[in-house]
């Protein structure tokens, strides 16, 4: 209502400004004919005065008076002619100019005063009608005002480009109305709304899809994630229930494992959350796009618990491997797809078979800590609490015989039979101070460095040495080790990225990325264009050098690889907006 009052007020002001000069009588702009008549009348008065004073005779008086009156009549005749003069408004001028057109011929008959009022009438009727019709077609009455300084013109361009997305969404929704059994269509629509950060709309779409495709793992997983994103990362009762259902059908589902651990962390059980995230990290290949989000969660939990994480484990392949290199396979993609089509009894039998297979593998390889944790979790999901308690007792016995599994760098180095602490020293490791533990690790790392002098082709040894020096914050030594690593394995994108990060750590000026590091990150991208860390630092380096176009390209690519709404996603998005 306020908007239309404002529009009416502004239109009225515009009409008044334009029409006022046409309505107002122009006293200061008399015509030449009117001036001549005034002069002739003055001459008549002077002529009468001269006659009274005897300056002229009666014959001369009569002749002069007749001549002046004749001139007055001639001027008065001209004044009454409907000719165009400087008093006519511009509309009369236009109409009279085209008076030769048959249907405009009447304009010659329009007096000056009438033409002025015709022009005013046009202003009053046609200008408001034309203005309102144009605004209704091209304007946006509901658009929120935005200060000029806060406008993001790059974002406006993207919004214009996004109009095609809106059209695609509309078309997809129409297709789903005609064919609601199109699973790929529902998933695409839900994913699109999540990409556009319309999380509530994505929840509605995926919830509708979950009714049509009941117990479909992918639909349920996406629905749970959409609910989390719609609540600003908070795990609600509904989303937790969904992820628990997903995990009961697929104990290896990464999203369910991640978000259930997040639920523990939000509930104050950070230690259990960290344990679950470390297990998930051990099952996650290093180049997985969402691993950055997982690593961030692990580091945050470690800081909260004041726990030192020496190294975050990662999987070398899609097969979960135990400590003794005995593969413990989980369900394949085909297994999961088949499970979603099974009835409840068949699905339960399939899951039970996989859990029993895992238990058998742990009999053969009892030192696989991650395997025991997965088994305990699976027993809990299946409701076999007695078996879960027995597995927890067995896990505690194994852990008591080793150093904490959160210090893998020590265990990895000890496997190479490097001279190190005795069994009694290992048993006392937990009671050491931080400096004593560092000295112990340092002696073992130096032993590894000495051994590599004799075996310079040992790639795994050099990788462990580089990471160990990094943990000890001996950054230049870490760089030296990574130089050997990339020589031995020039085709590994992750190792190239780690080398670049080591060069950054060794640089004294933390605000500048060394040229050698940029070369390393670019080499990683040539090997793997989707490597998240390389994309991030390559874009950061470009921004530091003023190449904002390249920075946006790299970070835009990276956004497509990150989980929507994750901390890393938000950080990259914020960096792009700051350019």
Model confidence over 464-488: pLDDT tens digits?
888 888 877 888 999 999 999 989 8
Question: Which class for 268: exposed (0-12), middle (13-18), buried (19 or more C-beta within 10 A)?
Answer: exposed
Does residue 263 register a pLDDT over 90?
yes
- C-alpha distances in angstroms, 159 versus 149, 152, 436? 18, 11, 58
The stretch 147-170 carries a mean pLDDT of: 55
Q: Phi then psi for 327, rounded to 5 degrees?
A: -65, 130
What's the start-to-end Cα distance of the chain, in Å?
39
Q: Phi then psi for 8, rounded to 5 degrees?
A: -60, -40
The pTM for the full model equals 0.36
Spatial separation of the C-alpha atoms in residues 249 and 116, rounded to whole Å: 84
Domains and CATH numbers, the chain: 14-137 (no CATH), 196-327+340-400 (1.25.40.10), 412-418+431-578 (1.25.40.10)
Does residue 408 register a pLDDT over 50?
no
Query: Which segment of 81-85, 414-418, 431-435, 441-445 scores lowest on mean pLDDT?
Result: 414-418
Q: Report residue 161's pLDDT band, with 50, 70 and 90 as the boundaries.
A: very low
Does residue 342 register a pLDDT over 50?
no
Q: Report residue 431's pLDDT band, with 50, 70 and 90 as the boundaries.
A: low
Query: Which segment of 102-106, 257-261, 267-271 scores lowest on mean pLDDT?
Result: 102-106
Q: Average per-residue pLDDT in the chain?
A: 73
Bridge partners of 285?
Answer: 315
> Are 203 and 223 within 8 A, CB to CB?
yes
Q: Report residue 381's pLDDT band, with 50, 70 and 90 as the boundaries.
A: low
Q: Report residue 258's pLDDT band, with 50, 70 and 90 as the boundaries.
A: very high
In 3D, which of 181, 202, 180 has the Cα closest to residue 191? Answer: 202
Does residue 98 register a pLDDT over 60?
no
Residue with the larger pLDDT of the pair 434 and 192: 192
DSSP 105: G
pLDDT > 90 fraction of the chain, expressed in percent and rounded? 10
pLDDT > 70 fraction of the chain, expressed in percent and rounded? 66
Question: What pLDDT, on the 0 to 100 scale, is given for residue 45?
Answer: 86
Q: Phi then psi for 491, rounded to 5 degrees?
A: -100, 15
Question: What pLDDT, on the 0 to 100 scale, is given for residue 437?
Answer: 64
Spatial separation of the C-alpha atoms in residues 165 and 239, rounded to whole Å: 28
Spatial separation of the C-alpha atoms in residues 331 and 354, rounded to whole Å: 7
The stretch 88-115 carries a mean pLDDT of: 49
The stretch 200-209 carries a mean pLDDT of: 92
Q: Phi then psi for 321, rounded to 5 degrees?
A: -110, 135
Highest mean pLDDT among 120-124, 423-427, 492-496: 492-496
Does residue 345 register a pLDDT over 80?
no
Q: Report residue 308's pLDDT band, with 50, 70 and 90 as the boundaries.
A: confident
């Amino acid at each position: 209502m306020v908007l239309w009052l404002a529009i009416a007020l502004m239109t009225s002001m515009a009409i008044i400004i334009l029409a006022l000069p046409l309505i107002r009588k122009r006293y200061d702009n008399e015509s030449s004919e009117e001036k001549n008549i005034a002069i002739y009348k003055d001459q008549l008065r002077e002529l009468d005065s001269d006659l009274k004073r005897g300056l002229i005779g009666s014959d001369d008086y009569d002749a002069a008076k007749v001549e002046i009156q004749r001139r007055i009549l001639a001027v008065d005749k001209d004044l009454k002619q409907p000719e165009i003069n400087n008093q006519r408004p511009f509309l009369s001028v236009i109409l009279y100019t085209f008076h030769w057109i048959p249907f405009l011929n009447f304009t010659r008959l329009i007096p000056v005063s009438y033409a002025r009022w015709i022009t005013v009438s046009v202003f009053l009727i046609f200008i408001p009608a034309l203005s309102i019709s144009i605004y209704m077609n091209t304007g946006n009455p509901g658009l929120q005002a935005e200060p000029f300084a806060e406008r993001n013109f790059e974002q406006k361009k993207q919004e214009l480009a996004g109009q095609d997305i809106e059209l695609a969404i509309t078309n997809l929704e129409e297709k789903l109305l005609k064919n609601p059994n199109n699973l790929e269509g529902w998933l695409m629509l839900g994913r699109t709304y999540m990409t556009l950060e319309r999380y509530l709309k994505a929840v509605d779409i995926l919830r509708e899809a979950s009714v049509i495709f009941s117990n479909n793992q992918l639909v349920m997983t996406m629905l749970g994630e959409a609910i989390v994103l719609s609540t600003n990362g908070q795990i609600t009762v509904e989303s937790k229930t969904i992820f628990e259902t997903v995990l009961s059908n697929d104990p290896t589902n990464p999203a369910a494992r991640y978000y259930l651990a997040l639920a523990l962390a939000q509930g104050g059980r950070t230690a259990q959350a960290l344990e679950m995230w470390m297990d998930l990290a051990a099952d996650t290949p290093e180049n997985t796009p969402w691993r950055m989000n997982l690593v961030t969660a692990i580091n945050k939990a470690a800081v909260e618990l004041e726990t030192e994480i020496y190294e975050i484990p990662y999987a070398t392949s899609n097969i979960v491997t135990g400590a003794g290199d005995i593969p413990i396979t989980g369900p394949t993609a085909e297994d999961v797809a088949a499970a979603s089509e099974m009835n409840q009894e068949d699905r339960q039998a399939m899951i039970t078979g996989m859990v029993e297979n895992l238990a058998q593998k742990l009999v053969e390889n009892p030192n696989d800590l991650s395997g025991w944790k997965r088994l305990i979790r699976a027993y809990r999901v299946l409701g076999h609490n007695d078996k879960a308690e027995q597995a927890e007792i067995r896990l505690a016995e194994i852990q008591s015989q080793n150093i904490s599994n959160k210090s893998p760098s020590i265990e990895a180095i000890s496997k190479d039979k490097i001279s190190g602490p005795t069994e009694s020293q290992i048993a006392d490791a937990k009671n050491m101070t931080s400096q004593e533990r560092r000295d112990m690790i340092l002696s073992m790392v130096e032993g590894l460095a000495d051994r590599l002098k004799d075996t310079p082709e040992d790639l795994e040894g050099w990788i462990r040495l580089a990471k160990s020096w990094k943990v000890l914050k001996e950054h230049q030594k870490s760089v030296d080790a990574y130089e050997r690593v990339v020589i031995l394995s020039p085709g590994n994108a992750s190792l190239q990225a780690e080398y670049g990060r080591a060069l950054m750590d060794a640089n004294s000026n933390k605000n500048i990325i060394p040229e050698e590091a940029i070369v390393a990150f670019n080499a990683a991208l040539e090997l793997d264009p989707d490597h998240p860390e390389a994309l991030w630092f390559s874009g950061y380096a470009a921004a530091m050098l003023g190449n904002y176009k390249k920075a946006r390209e790299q970070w835009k690519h990276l956004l497509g690889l990150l989980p929507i709404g994750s901390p890393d996603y938000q950080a990259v998005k914020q960096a792009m907006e700051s350019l």
